[in-house]
Amino acid sequence: MAQKPIEGEKKVFMTGNEAVAWAALAAGADIMYGYPITPQNEIMHYWTRLAPKYGRKFLQTEDEISAGFTAVGGVLAGRRAFTATAGPGNILMQESMCMAEMMRLPTVLVVTQRGGPSTATVIYSQQEVTMTCYGGNGEGFRIVYSTAGQQDLFDYTLKAFDVAWKYRFPTFVLGDGYQAKMREPLVIYDPEVRGVTITPSEPYMAKSGKPGVDRPPTHLRNTYNMEEELLAAVNELANAYAQMAPQVVESQEFETEDAEVVILAHGVVSRAAQGAVKVLRSQGYRVGHFRPITLRPFPDEAIKRVAEKSRRLFLVESSQAQFRKLVTDSLYGVSTPLTSYLKPGEGITVDEVVAEVKKLF
């Protein structure tokens, strides 16, 4: 065993892409399969620079379809494999991620959202929410963490490697181009020193022993002959997902207790919301902020509790209502009025949120 990538813990000043590479190393990832796309590239670059020092591997494939499927193949063989992509690459990886969904395979995919539709910008957006949560011809049996900065990227990449293998659902770390490219301080650490455990990986195919004699036979299917068979299989997935959800779901609240207006935001936009709460509170406005950390499973109970006791909800996102769809679906039956501020593909600042929220008083 080579030395540990991170001894103890240390404070660093780095980009999100670098933080993801370190987290994957610290989580014991064996191999990254990848194909270049901005703003994800440096995850690959840092990984290829660091991985050989710790006996880890990298394979650049011919495209993202292949990167997704080779990652699934690595997982089947028992490797802690992962990949990362953005935008059009995320589209191409949906097929393999759907296969993982159907076969209950753990995968870790880090997404650095860029602008869309199509090539659009390489800078930033929150326009890959629907695709990451519900992409492909699937039912969204996935775990999606929406991160808000470098510390989150490190913490939740570690966590993704744990929950993916623990619950066997495709797991996504949903970042964005801002987080990918910006530099800010964070603490990176050896998971052991923080008591963070990571579920070990195991081969799902070609296990040792004689199938049916020494061990139950492995039977992973993504093809069915009868519609009744499929219904039963999908129901089974849905049940397993529902059982897993309460163990995984995460959200954060900021001054929601007595808030008249609650700002709903996820990912990096949550930082603008947190800043706005601070400013508005200092000026006497009773404003709070609710941030889902998992977009799948969505924190239905927590958001309902907050929504029901506030006078108005203010939703802000860098997309044309992809996050709002998750929210309104979750809040069906709650009558609190909701105002939205939608900026597809553009960043949102504290000042803007402050100005918009003031209009509601």
Partner 1 sequence: MAKGAKIAIAGEGGQGVQSVAGILSEAAYDEGFEALYIPNFGVEQRGGVSVAYVQISDEPIGSPKFKIADIVVALSDRAVHRTKKYVGPNTVFVYDADIKGVDGALPKNAAKVLAIPAIRVAKEELHPRVFNVIIMGAVIGATKVVDIDVAKKALTKKFGYKFEQDPSLRDLNYKALERGYELVQG
Q: Rank residues 31 and 263 by Cβ distance to partner 1 and give the closer one.
A: 263
CB of 125 to partner 1, least distance (A): 13
Interacting residues with partner 1 between 334 and 353 (CB under 8 A): 347-352
Q: Rank residues 120 and 240 by Cβ distance to partner 1 and give the closer one.
A: 120
CB of 54 to partner 1, least distance (A): 25
Q: Specify the pairing of strand 31-34 against strand 81-85.
A: parallel
Interacting residues with partner 1 between 24 and 83 (CB under 8 A): 38-39
* Single residue of 59, 77, 182, 360 touching partner 1 by CB under 8 A: 182
Is 178 in contact with 349 (CB distance < 8 Å)? no
d(CA 326, CA 283): 31
* Single residue of 183, 215, 221, 311 touching partner 1 by CB under 8 A: 183
Q: Rank residues 111 and 353 by Cβ distance to partner 1 and give the closer one.
A: 353
Edge to edge, the sheet with strand 81-85 lists 57-60, 31-34, 81-85, 108-113, 171-176, 143-146, 294-296
Cα 224 to Cα 62, 95, 220, 233, distances in angstroms: 30, 17, 11, 9
Cis peptide upstream of residue 200 (ω within 30 degrees of 0) = no
CB of 169 to partner 1, least distance (A): 30
Size of the site for partner 1 (CB under 8 A): 27
Q: Rank residues 88 and 140 by Cβ distance to partner 1 and give the closer one.
A: 88
Is 211 in contact with 218 (CB distance < 8 Å)? yes
d(CA 180, CA 3): 27
Interacting residues with partner 1 between 250 and 269 (CB under 8 A): 268-269
Q: Which x/- pattern over 217-256 shows residues binding partner 1 (rule: CB under 8 A)?
A: ----------------------------------------
Binding site for partner 1 (CB under 8 A): 13, 38-39, 119, 121-123, 178-179, 181-185, 268-269, 271-272, 274-276, 347-352
